[in-house]
Structure 1
């Protein structure tokens, strides 16, 4: 019997993604249909007005949704698609993407993600929401 896919394995998977390394992403929660991806909002990830670039938020939502689904479907999953609604500019030193599975079957999961920025004191502000589907990868 294979060992369960837990937080350590999820962290190893994230560490094997060159783009995730480039962004400095980390996974801090993984399991039971939930995942949290965090990253520091560096200056080189901001757009011209000083806000965290929308593409960075999209990356965080995509990975958090996929990891949440992977916690119930297994590690071989791919994003089927997702939508993202920006609610307010992302300012603050830390981006936090919290995703959870809303419904899953054998080969697909529907997930939701809320994206927050946290200030230095830990107060969080909701800046975007995402919803998507994740599918098991087929060889």
Structure 2
């Protein structure tokens, strides 16, 4: 992991990137933490994000994994990156007050990073239950093309 890349993507900068994504704003996503090789994304579980049984919709979990993985990768690669692939396993229904997606870099090179993410459903009493796990990769893109 490049220390320069980690220094180039601060929590404030990453929060600005997140705020510039209309879909992220719609979901109420916020970056709770960002550090070398790690990102934590939180999403409030409001009624509009639930499915018919009152649990978080699977698409919301997929979004949480995708963005948390990419922000974690950004700490290793810098801010000009895109997700190149992701797998997601739903482990149990997610209820509670919010989702907490914790992503870490597993392996990285100058152009690509592999990350893992665990998504927790957080209850009103702050207890957390693992509800999904993901693995994904991101790569550097050339924005001048």
Residues 75-86 of structure 1 aligned to structure 2 (within 5 Å): 75-86=79-90
Number of residue-to-residue matches in the alignment? 137
2:36 pairs with 23, 32, 48, which one?
32
CA distance in 1: counterparts of 2:81 and 2:114, whole angstroms: 12
Residue 31 of structure 2 corresponds to residue 13 of structure 1: no
CA distance in 2: counterparts of 1:48 and 1:4, whole angstroms: 42
Q: Is the 8 A contact 2:118 2:134 kept in 1?
A: yes
TM-score, normalised with respect to structure 2: 0.92
**CA deviation digits over 1:30-84, x for unaligned, max 9?**
1201000001000010001111000000000000000000011000010000000
Q: What RMSD over aligned residues (CA atoms) do the two structures have, in Å?
A: 0.9
CA distance in 1: counterparts of 2:77 and 2:132, whole angstroms: 25
**Secondary structure of the corresponding residue to residue 8 of structure 1:** helix
CA distance in 1: counterparts of 2:89 and 2:19, whole angstroms: 27
In structure 2, list runs of 5 or more residues that go unmatched. 1-6
CA distance in 2: counterparts of 1:120 and 1:48, whole angstroms: 21
Equivalent residue, structure 2, for 1:22? 26
**CA deviation digits over 1:86-130, x for unaligned, max 9?**
000001111000000000000000000000011111100000000
TM-score, normalised with respect to structure 1: 0.96
**Secondary structure of the corresponding residue to residue 66 of structure 2:** helix
Q: Is the 8 A contact 1:93 1:118 kept in 2?
A: yes
Equivalent residue, structure 1, for 2:62? 58
1:48 pairs with 52, 56, 76, which one?
52
In structure 1, list runs of 5 or more residues that go unmatched. none
